[in-house]
Chains A and B, each alone.
Chain A
């Protein structure tokens, strides 16, 4: 048993962290968020490196790596709240790649894996998806309906009304699909959605980790009553709690990414656990980050609010903590995880 990354995975992580710490610095994120547009220069660089196709099969122009590798990138992008449409596009590619037909894969995946085509995924009620992250720029849209069925459609065949979510580091839109627009995805939609949940959970782990790091750095520096505020247990214990929640989410997300490729029968449970824990951690940890920053944390300039806003969007994306626990509750009768049998 080994929870460590392979040398290749570590290299992906190192490269991503170096690149993003340089190219997605807070001031650049803020600049793009304020302008309400994504960072096209950065996106172009990520496409050159093949990131959008990391988990797409080589047959369709991707790198053919696994879900663990995709999760590494999601986590790193989450850490920096990079204003690029990576996650929505990766989710669309996951659904089409895992649940689509050969024709559907051939039509959409080469564009998605090269980053030339952008995608997005939305949850629709009566044909309308109210808040589709990345929806404004997407050229291919996947919607999940009430019955758990999925449809893929070209944006040109849908009604896309741009809107502003609370997280301006990514575009959003209200998407309506007419009854017969697009095509159904007839493969394993639940399995594809579980893989999507893991990617979102991994982004939340990155967001939480960064929120904790910023908070720890701040409370070491900020002095009141003659001492760093981090010396007060009311503050330091809050930070310890942030670590606890982040590490719970991290362990479950890593496990879920691993099961997706290595132990698929356990994926449904693992993905639900990962998304439940990461959604809660994302909300709690980023909220704590604002609180521990005090007044400054409530200002536009302090940058912790980008993490909070991203966490709010991701926590709800494709189903929040409660929804995933409700799914788990339905599995509990059969689950007994103490010991592998």
Chain B
């Protein structure tokens, strides 16, 4: 056991920390709503890109730095520590790019990877549907081959950033006769066409981070199939695995910051010495630290031993639950401010409810732990 970083990793951290200190993002816009905010994050990604920091985990040949898993975790720790935003094209950088690197043709990689990195072309993810959430493979959006191209009809939901996106990672059913996991194909769909309508999905925070996609006879050329016809489930799993790994690390750092903010707020109000608040905050501190350790353990086990331990499935579960507890405690500590619309604590309180649903509900995660880690029998579904 050695919980220190090696020289190369420390140098990576120092270099990034120095660059972030010298090159902060432009001031966060206070007007102009979500569009202005998105433009600000897009500008920030261009600055990261110009300095070679947009996607350090990408191999050097695709414009990254070939960072190791540990270095990319350090990247997210430092991005979090500096309190700068995530790059605008986060789904392209963390999910789309890495999926293409595994499954894409040389032509696809050459065509799509550079504009992901530079934020010229934004990507979104068209997986979930109104009737296919946790049971993703039940999706119904259909793609039919007509005169050498694919014609797609269906509906997608929870598509974040769709209004800014050029490309959608779309999973659609191409063979309705095949078993449900086998009849799927993974496409890159051009969002800028008649057949694709984006409707903002207003969430409980009042904003529209996500969208619904209404797809009516949208066209996709044959060369935009990723990983081959009928292979969509496997390609989608590559995307989903990257979702858990990369984003997960950024999120646990964000949780730590919120806790530090809450501790500061409690100290300001003289509540740190109150034993009830002290106990609750200490409990959150213990949870945050166990999340940090489990996240690092999961990552370094993959790096050193080639496979994750059981902690992989536990981190997201524990993180989402802890964020909900934390933001709920904030309502007690900061009081009315956390219940006043438009404040950051009220936003966090409401936004946290999504955490135990998005990216795998806690119920599904418990099933995964029970079946795949503990080897318990699966309940037969009627």
Contacts and interface: CB of A to CB of B under 8 A. Distances in A.
A4 B373 CA distance: 19
A254 B318 contact: no
Given A1-B2, A336-B260, A337-B256, A231 B376 contact: yes
B201 to A, nearest CB: 29
B15 to A, nearest CB: 15
A59 interface: no
B305 A4 contact: yes
B367 interface: yes
Max chain A CB contacts within 10 Å: which of B81, B253, B369, B371? B369
Interface in A1-60: 1-6, 9
Max chain B CB contacts within 10 Å: which of A9, A230, A329? A329
Nearest to A277: B286
Given A230-B377, A337-B256, A328 B297 contact: no
Contacts of A252: 286, 289-290, 293
B8 interface: no
Max chain A CB contacts within 10 Å: which of B5, B288, B293, B304? B293
A236 B5 contact: no
Given A333-B267, A338-B80, A276 B286 contact: yes
B278 A329 contact: yes
Interface in B1-57: 1-5, 9
A306 interface: no
Interface in B347-382: 363, 365-367, 369-371, 373-380
Interface string A150-186: 0000000000000000000000000000000000000
Interface in A208-252: 212, 216, 219-220, 227-228, 230-233, 236-237, 239-241, 243-244, 247-248, 251-252
Contact of A236 (B3, B370, B380): B370
Contacts of B257: 338
A323 to B, nearest CB: 10
A255 interface: yes
A338 B77 contact: yes
Contacts of A237: 363, 366-367, 370
Interface in B298-328: 300-301, 304-305, 310-311, 314, 317-318
Given A247-B314, A277-B286, A1 B70 contact: yes
Nearest to A322: B279
B192 interface: no
Given A216-B376, A239-B376, A326-B275, A4 B293 contact: no
Given A3-B300, A3-B301, A247-B311, A329 B366 contact: no
Interface residues of B, number: 59
A65 interface: no
B1 A335 contact: no
A325 B374 contact: no
B304 A325 contact: no
Given A239-B370, A243-B369, A338 B260 contact: yes
Contacts, number: 173
Given A227-B377, A228-B377, A2 B1 contact: yes
A212 to B, nearest CB: 8
A233 B318 contact: no
A130 B9 CA distance: 51
Given A325-B286, A329-B272, A220 B294 contact: no
Contact of A329 (B279, B294, B377): B279
B80 to A, nearest CB: 7
B110 interface: no
A233 B379 contact: yes
B330 to A, nearest CB: 15
B112 interface: no
B81 A273 contact: no
B121 interface: no
A244 B318 contact: yes
Nearest to B266: A332
B338 interface: no
A243 B374 contact: yes
B214 interface: no
Contact of B311 (A1, A251, A329): A251
Contacts of A326: 275, 278-279, 282
Interface of A: 1-6, 9, 68, 212, 216, 219-220, 227-228, 230-233, 236-237, 239-241, 243-244, 247-248, 251-252, 254-255, 258, 262-263, 273, 276-277, 322, 325-326, 328-330, 332-333, 335-340
What are the 9 A-B residue pairs with the smallest beta carbon separation, nearest first?
Answer: A329-B278, A236-B370, A325-B282, A338-B256, A328-B282, A240-B369, A251-B293, A248-B290, A230-B376
16 contacts: A216-B376, A220-B377, A231-B379, A237-B367, A243-B373, A255-B293, A258-B3, A328-B282, A329-B275, A332-B272, A332-B285, A337-B288, A337-B292, A338-B77, A339-B77, A340-B5
